[in-house]
Amino acid sequence: MREFALSPPPSTPLPPPRPVLLFYCQHSLGIGHLTRSFALAHALGALFRVVFLNGGPLPVGVRVPDAIELVDLPPLGMDDGHHLVSRNTVQDVLLAQLRRHEMITEAARMLQPALVLIELFPFGRKKFAGEILALIRAARRQRPDVRVVCSLRDILVDGRRDQQHHDDRARWLANRYFDAVLVHSDPAFARIEDSFRPARPLAVPVHYTGYVVPARAADPVARRDDRLLVSAGGGIVGFALFAAALAAHALRPAPGLQLRIVAGPFLPDAEWVALQGMACGRADVELVRHVPDLAIEMRRARLSVSQCGYNTALDIVVAGVPALVVPYAAPGENEQSRRAEALAALGAVRHLPAARLEPARLATAIDETLAFSPKPAALALDGAQRSAELLAQLMPIRNSGVPRSSHA
């Protein structure tokens, strides 16, 4: 990973560089968007000069791909009530927004990217629309033939009170400002129209890439140990699951089954302290803040209990571990529940709805899952490489004289 510095171009001519791809990613609540975007950026680095605009805090222990140049914007995020908050204790939201706007537009001006890749927007990140649209306009001022592409996960939230208005607005923005949408999904499992239903159809081309998983070395450990692994992605909304798992394990301990909780780097400090207090004196419990690769941990576990975000679900599929998923399901948040239901229907996982999360039920579900043999989920997992290939095909041709197409 190289730090990107906004500096004037050198006075002496250099050989033609690789095409510049400016990648905007705003992870707001969890870690999944950043993990997927880094996996994409790793593959893109073979074909492009990737400059990565990182809009949230960089978690401790998360490895930045070597092939990219990182621009850390003043970190913003969302709390559990969907309010915009600053992740920097010395800078408020307004000051962060002003500085971010300056940095984003200056990056577009200096880099003159051939491609701008924007994670999730306009299908989400509405509160960041101002700076994202400013990025697109600044890039087009420098290079009118720049291609603007959306990087989109498999399943969208579709439980908002104003869902129809949201979908219609997203359709208009996609058609107006974007040249393509890459959906990081296997269309046999999840299609965009399953969770996105505007009154009029999208005109912008939609490409399915397959699922994006991080490149990883083979795990030399083949034998599963007697470990119950509990995780919740970045951990910011994982405390209820962790507390229930501790209580369930105490209520009905399985002989020789060690409980290992991977709390995640975003679990609030106060909740981490509370979790340590709850586990104090229990020799059969291990608490860990972060692990480099959750899929490897799952391969080694006898059973996984987790939420069901994009990356966690794929880790389960890759690991082939017997898994119980308890999806995060706050009001208006049904993405994880839809993914959990679909995977359970394939026989790949067992599913306990979040509304039923209490120690006795969790203990019963864990007992049942210990005897569960998951069926392999035959999903396309080459999404990172396929995305790189598609973006290379979308590259503009300099001085072609062909105007950018517009959409209604």
For domain 2-8+17-213+382-393, give the CATH number: 3.40.50.2000
The predicted structure's pLDDT at residue 289: 93
The predicted structure's pLDDT at residue 31: 84
Q: Is the pLDDT of residue 381 over 90?
A: yes
Q: What is the pLDDT of residues 74-90, one digit of tens each?
A: 999 877 667 888 887 77
Mean pLDDT for 221-235 is 84
DSSP conformational letter for 320: T
Q: What is the pLDDT of residues 323-380, one digit of tens each?
A: 999 999 887 788 999 999 999 999 999 999 999 999 999 999 999 999 999 999 999 9
* Cβ–Cβ < 8 Å for 78, 127: yes
- The amino acid sitting at 402 is V
For a pLDDT cut of 90, what percent of the chain falls above it?
75
pTM for this entry: 0.89
CATH 3.40.50.2000, the chain: domain bounds? 2-8+17-213+382-393, 227-370
| Helix (H), strand (E) at residue 206 | strand 206-208
Q: Is the pLDDT of residue 292 over 70?
A: yes
Say if domain 227-370 classifies as CATH 3.40.50.2000.
yes
Residue-averaged pLDDT of the chain:
90
Q: What is the pLDDT of residues 185-212, one digit of tens each?
A: 999 999 999 999 999 999 999 999 999 9
Residues 6+ apart with CB under 8 A from 306: 229, 230, 231, 232, 233, 241, 312, 316, 323, 324, 325, 326
Structure tokens that stand for 9 in this block: 């171009």
The predicted structure's pLDDT at residue 81: 61
Residues 6+ apart with CB under 8 A from 344: 325, 350, 351
Mean pLDDT for 139-160 is 94
Q: Is the pLDDT of residue 399 over 50?
A: no
- The amino acid sitting at 100 is R
The predicted structure's pLDDT at residue 10: 57
